Amino acid sequence: MLKIHDLHATVDGTPILKGLNLEIGAGEIHAIMGPNGAGKSTLANVLSGRDGYSVTGGQINFLGRDLLPLSVEERAHLGLFLAMQYPVELPGVNNMVFLKEALSRVMQARGQAPLDAVAFMKLVGETAKKVNLDPALLKRSVNAGFSGGEKKRNEIFQMALLQPRLAILDETDSGLDIDALRIVSDGVNKLRDPGRSMIIVTHYQRLLDYIEPDFVHVLAGGRIVRSGDKSLARELESKGYAWLAGEVAA
């Protein structure tokens, strides 16, 4: 589904990713862990096509297409979704108008006919229920005045609505208390599907107790320095990232 080969990227001229390789198959969940400043969020943003992240080398292939020339919205149309670490507030932007626009654009790209108002409302209601989102939040402006947990839940809700092929969860656990973490994780687990892959970017092993990954990668110094199964996450938790320092330097 996703093949990243020898990816190099800079932010403000500073090299952050330095030859990153990663392959993700359909239906797989990959966790990407690593110390602060390793390039985890840079990877997430580069995949989504955000301005300010310059790819200086390497290739990214998504569903058989070269991802790099595509705009942010074209990537979303292909089925890429980024659940953000810090979802912005959009004061005054009506949630329903936003969701309807996003869904119809994504469905159009999939060759599906747009939903009528009744079907749309029904889908929104069912999806909110599925990921345990208070429907009252959807009557407000997007993320405006939401608590940290509500914002993260709203990200998962949007993901459930848009049904992406590849979801990238960027530090979704940051700022969540244990109850919110469980609710968000339940939502994510309900979206596991043989046709849907996920990249879970996280600092801590804690989230992986709730969302069980197929693979765990350690990103340090701009490269994947170690890959393994979920037991690698536990190893990291007990030993810290320092024991991989030698591999970072190498």
Partner 1 sequence: MKTAHPSLQRYLGMLEDTASRPWTVDSTGLEAMRAAARAHLLQQGFPDRKQEVWRYTPVDRLLALNFVAAAPHDQAVAAPQALPELDSYRLVFVNGFFDAAASHLQALPAGVTVHGLAALARSQPQVLDGALRDFPAPTVNAFTAMHTLLSSDGIYIHVADGVHVDKPIEIIHHAVAGDQAVTSVPRIMVSLAAGARLTWIERFGHSGRSFYFQNVVAQIDLAAGASLDHYRLLEEGNEAFHLSSIQLRQQGNSSYRGLSMHLGGSWLRSDIQVDLDGEGARNQLAGFSFVDHGQLSDIHTQVRHNAPGCTSSENFRSLLLGAGRMVFDGLVRVAPDAQRSEAVMRNDNMLLSENAEVDSKPQLQIFADDVKCSHGATVGQLDADQVFYLRSRGIDIGMAKKLLCQGFIASVVDDCELQPVRAHALRAIDSALDRAMSSMAN
- And the tokens for 151? 């914002």
Residue closer to partner 1 (CB basis): 167 or 236: 167
Nearer to partner 1, 124 or 224 (CB): 124
- Going by C-alpha positions, the residue among 149, 154, 146 that lies closest to residue 102 is 154
> Interface mask (CB under 8 A) for partner 1, residues 18-57, using x and -?
------------------------------x-xx------
For the bound state, the minimum distance from the C-beta of residue 91 to partner 1, rounded and expressed in Å, comes to: 6
Q: Using the rule CB under 8 A, is 12 a contact of partner 1?
A: no
Edge-first strand order for the sheet with 166-170 is 80-83, 166-170, 197-201, 29-33, 215-220, 223-228
Question: Closest Cα partner for 42 from 1, 90, 88, 4?
Answer: 4
Q: What is the footprint of partner 1 within residues 93-152 (CB under 8 A)?
A: 93-94, 97-98, 101-102, 105-106, 109, 141
**Cβ atoms 164, 79 nearer than 8 A:** yes
Instruction: Give the Cβ contact number of residue 56 at 10 Å.
Output: 12
Position 85 contacts partner 1 (CB under 8 A): no
**Which are the contacts of 71, defined by CB distance < 8 A and separation ≥ 6?**
49
Applying CB under 8 A, which part among 83-91, 117-125, 126-134, 238-246 lies near partner 1? 83-91
Residue linked to tokens 């190498």: 250
Q: How far is the CB of 180 from partner 1 (least distance, A)?
A: 21
If 0-12 CB within 10 Å is exposed, 13-18 middle and 19+ buried, where does residue 101 land? exposed
Say how far apart CA 74 and CA 80 lie, in whole Å: 9
The single residue among 6, 25, 37, 88 that binds partner 1, judged by CB under 8 A, is 88
Over the window 149 to 168, marking each residue x when it contacts partner 1 by CB under 8 A and - when it does not, the resulting string is ---------x---x------
**CB-based burial, 126-143: b 16+ in 10 Å, e otherwise:** ebbebbebeeebbeeebb
How many amino acids of this chain bind partner 1 (CB under 8 A)? Answer: 29
* Contact pick of 14, 36, 71, 238 for partner 1 (by CB under 8 A): 71
Which residues make up the interface to partner 1 (CB under 8 A)?
A: 48, 50-51, 71-73, 75-77, 81-82, 84, 87-88, 90-94, 97-98, 101-102, 105-106, 109, 141, 158, 162
